Amino acid sequence: MAKKKGGFGRFLGAITGTPYERLLKQVDKVVEQFEDEEEELASQLEALVDQAGDAYEEESIDEEEHDLIIEAIEEADPEGRVFGKLGGEEDAFYAGDIPDAPELKREKRVNLDDLMRAKGDEFTGSFGRDEFEEFRERMTDEFYQESDNAIRQGDHQAEIRTTNRVFGGAETDVDDAKRRIAEESGMVDPNAVQEVEEEEEEDYDGYSIDEDGVEWFEDEDGYWWYREEGQTEWQPYDEE
């Protein structure tokens, strides 16, 4: 940001009679004329911001003079606005009024597993219904093949028959694999039997949703982030 000259800088401008000095006089004149009309004063000062920008583009004033004029306008602005300057590191995108972040509220908590799982009932992910069936069939075929080979090699009694033989852990292993894939990829299997699990869900202390539907998350460094309903990106929360 340009170094502020304050009254001395304005005094130099008054001596030289430069465009810089004339713009400063306009600021003082507008303030004096509309002192009791804040809305009109704010409008006139905003117009002077544009004039200062035009003067800089026309090379009538330099960067430092432009920023000093803007500072004078900011000091007189009844709305306390901040305007973009040329000599500072402030991003022009953030110049002016910045929308207020929502108020931090943490009344409602949600299980972290629910947060990471897909919100809809749709069947999503890289594994679909057909892939599950193919996986089940492949596991069953491999088991029977290995079992028959074991019998031929004498690892089991001769009277054991593969026909009607039950593989006690096969179905369980397949179901467990299916469940893990579904959980890790966020899928909901439409063919899965929904079982009521009477387990106490552990809430994640750093995450919550307030009554307005805004999601809040506290990271490991103690900083809060929020995501408004319908948004996909998390935004940092600034308490100031």
pLDDT for 27-47, tens place per residue?
Answer: 999 999 898 888 998 999 999
Lowest mean pLDDT among 7-21, 58-72, 95-109: 95-109
* Helix/strand/coil (H/E/C) assignment for every residue in 29-73: HHHHHCCCCHHHHHHHHHHHHHHHHHHHHCCCCCHHHHHHHHHHH
The three-point CA angle 103-109-114 to 5° equals: 120
Q: Pick the more confident residue, 187 or 156.
A: 187
Tell whether the model's pLDDT for residue 3 goes beyond 50. Answer: no
Q: Are 38 and 78 in contact (CB under 8 A)?
A: yes
Here the tokens at position 235 are 């935004």
Q: What is the mean pLDDT of residues 211-237?
A: 87
For residue 102, the model assigns a pLDDT of 64
pLDDT band at 121 (very low <50, low <70, confident <90, very high): low
Q: Are 193 and 179 in contact (CB under 8 A)?
A: no
Percent of the chain exceeding pLDDT 90 equals 18
Q: Pick the more confident residue, 98 or 47.
A: 47
Q: What is the mean pLDDT of residues 108-120?
A: 61
Domain boundaries, the chain: 6-94, 101-120+202-240, 124-185
| Helical H segments across 58-169, by residue range | 63-76, 112-116, 129-152
Q: Pick the more confident residue, 17 or 29.
A: 29
Mean pLDDT, the chain, integer: 72
pLDDT band at 201 (very low <50, low <70, confident <90, very high): very low
User: How far is Cα of residue 113 from the mean position of the Cα atoms in its chain?
Assistant: 19
Q: What's the predicted TM-score (pTM) here?
A: 0.33
